[in-house]
Amino acid sequence: ALEVRLASRPRGWPTRENFDVVEAPVSEPGEGQVLVRNKIMSVDPAMRGRMNDAKSYVPPFEIGKPLSGGAVGEVVASNSQQFSVGQTVLHQLGWREYATVGESHAVAVSPETAPLGAYLGVLGMPGLTAYVGLFDIANFREGDTVFVSGAAGAVGSVVGQLAKLHGAARVVGSAGSAEKVRYVTEELGFDAAFNYKDAPVHQQLKSVAPDGIDVYFDNVGGDHLEAAIGSLNDFGRIAACGAVSTYNASEPQPGPRNMFQFVTKRLTMRGFIVIDHGERRHQFFEEVGPLVRENKLRYDETTVDGLRNAPDAFLGMLQGENKGKMLVNL
Ligand code: NDP
């Protein structure tokens, strides 16, 4: 069966040459393991970080070894009391057609409750990231004006809609194309949005949020972060979720030049990693599950077919080719 391995580490933007798609043997499940035929897998911005040989909250991918990441598939052989053949499971061994997964690393999911891709997006890791980041990290309160960057992506699209549903005074977003700006305002219900490629972010942010912002959900970093600091009102809060504008930089990028405003405006900025917030999963599911089912919270997916095309899906996502969650159908 096919798997995708890291061929070499990128410097700057990754390319197709950094990946190898190879035939690998499928191993029978050992004691406590299941063999899963993957049906759909996620490509995430964080995978770019794991391509570097750098210490972080997860170990780097190893050259010559398969990449990994969220995937959903069907159990085709089981050596576990917990799972039977035919069950659908979520696990972390994507980037391969067949995965041998330890039972403690798999979670049963229901294909009747939601389409499989939802478990990798709105009801999965990105959805939980939006929920935890907005409510626990940024301490969102009714009446806040919220700015979210990466607004048309997997996390950002959920952040903006949750803020609206919970009584935000105003929700504004940024994204990288006119079509995405239309999408978040007309289809997701953002009050306003702008294309960050059109003009400096600080100018455009001021025009969509003339009275300032109370919360900035940062998916992007760089000039977006500096602009948000400039627009935050007194006691404003930033959830530092990601900095996708810097992930392909070959040199460290300069920081915001207006950090003194943290003092004058009594701002707070807090970083977080969703894997530390598993205890919120239950409540997240209870709240967001019904919103999705009742179409009160909308989500979209961009899908690419075939494991051989997974590297292109990943590279395309880094360039903004996705609307909502980027996924690969296997
Ligand atoms: P998205 O679905 O938002 O996809 C990535 C998007 O990044 C692209 O669609 C593109 O959209 C945008 N982008 C690429 N380059 C730039 C740039 N230079 N400036 C601005 N935007 C850019 O990904 P996710 O929703 O999965 O992730 C969003 C962020 O959240 C990332 O920073 C990610 O690392 C972070 N994250 C953090 C987690 C945590 O635990 N802290 C967990 C999950 C995600 P566009 O067309 O608009 O440019």
Q: What is the ipTM of this complex?
A: 0.99
Ligand 1 midpoint to CA 218 (Å):
9
Residue range 40-80, pLDDT digits in tens: 999 999 999 999 999 999 999 999 999 999 999 999 999 99
Q: Which atom of ligand 1 is nearest to the CA of 132?
A: 40
Q: Which atom of ligand 1 is nearest to the CA of 326?
A: 2
Q: Is 242 in the pocket of ligand 1 (CB under 6 A)?
A: yes
Is residue 232 in a domain?
A: yes
Domain check: are 97 and 234 in the same one? no
Residue range 206-254, pLDDT digits in tens: 999 999 999 999 999 999 999 999 999 999 999 999 999 999 999 989 9
Q: Distance (Å, rounded) from C-alpha 287 to C-alpha 297?
A: 11
Is residue 22 in a domain?
A: yes
pLDDT band, very low/low/confident/very high, at 204 (cuts 50, 70, 90): very high
The whole-number pLDDT of residue 82 equals: 98
Is residue 285 in a domain?
A: no
Q: Is 155 in the pocket of ligand 1 (CB under 6 A)?
A: yes
Ligand 1 midpoint to CA 230 (Å):
22
| Domain of residue 7, residue span | 2-121+300-329
Amino acid type, 302 = T
Is residue 113 in a domain?
A: yes
- Count the domains in the chain: 2
The whole-number pLDDT of residue 175 equals: 98
Domain check: are 53 and 158 in the same one? no
* 69 torsion bin: left (phi>0), alpha (psi -120 to 50), beta (else): left
Q: Is 272 in the pocket of ligand 1 (CB under 6 A)?
A: yes
Domain check: are 65 and 113 in the same one? yes
Domain check: are 114 and 131 in the same one? no
Mean pLDDT in the chain?
Answer: 97
Domain check: are 185 and 204 in the same one? yes
> Which residue has its alpha carbon closest to ligand 1 atom 15?
245
The whole-number pLDDT of residue 110 equals: 95
DSSP letters, 84-144, are -TT-EEEESB-SBSEEEEEGGG-EE--TTTS-GGGGGTTTSHHHHHHHIIIIIIS---TT-
> Residue 136 maps to which CATH number?
3.40.50.720
Residue range 271-291, pLDDT digits in tens: 999 999 999 999 999 999 999
Domain check: are 268 and 130 in the same one? yes
Q: Is 244 in the pocket of ligand 1 (CB under 6 A)?
A: yes
Out of 219, 275, 276, mutate this one to test ligand 1's pocket (max ligand atoms within 8 Å of CB): namely 219
pLDDT band, very low/low/confident/very high, at 310 (cuts 50, 70, 90): very high
Cα-flanking dihedrals φ and ψ of residue 58, to 5°? -130, 150
Domain check: are 165 and 259 in the same one? yes
Domain check: are 44 and 116 in the same one? yes
Is residue 294 in a domain?
A: no
Is residue 262 in a domain?
A: yes
Q: Is 320 in the pocket of ligand 1 (CB under 6 A)?
A: yes
CA distances to 11, 40, 220, 327 from 247, rounded to whole Å, are 10, 25, 9, 20
Q: Is 302 in the pocket of ligand 1 (CB under 6 A)?
A: no
The whole-number pLDDT of residue 117 equals: 98
Ligand 1 midpoint to CA 324 (Å):
10
Domain check: are 135 and 117 in the same one? no
Q: Is 176 in the pocket of ligand 1 (CB under 6 A)?
A: yes
Residue range 21-33, pLDDT digits in tens: 999 999 899 999 9
Domain check: are 216 and 189 in the same one? yes
Is residue 229 in a domain?
A: yes
Are the beta carbons of 65 and 6 closer than 8 angstroms? yes
Q: Which of 132, 181, 188 is nearest to 164 (CA)?
A: 188
Out of 244, 270, 275, 323, mutate this one to test ligand 1's pocket (max ligand atoms within 8 Å of CB): namely 244
> Residue 63 maps to which CATH number?
3.90.180.10
Q: Which atom of ligand 1 is nearest to the CA of 222?
A: 19
Residue 231 contacts by C-beta under 8 Å, 6 or more apart in sequence?
147, 202, 205, 206, 209, 212, 213, 216
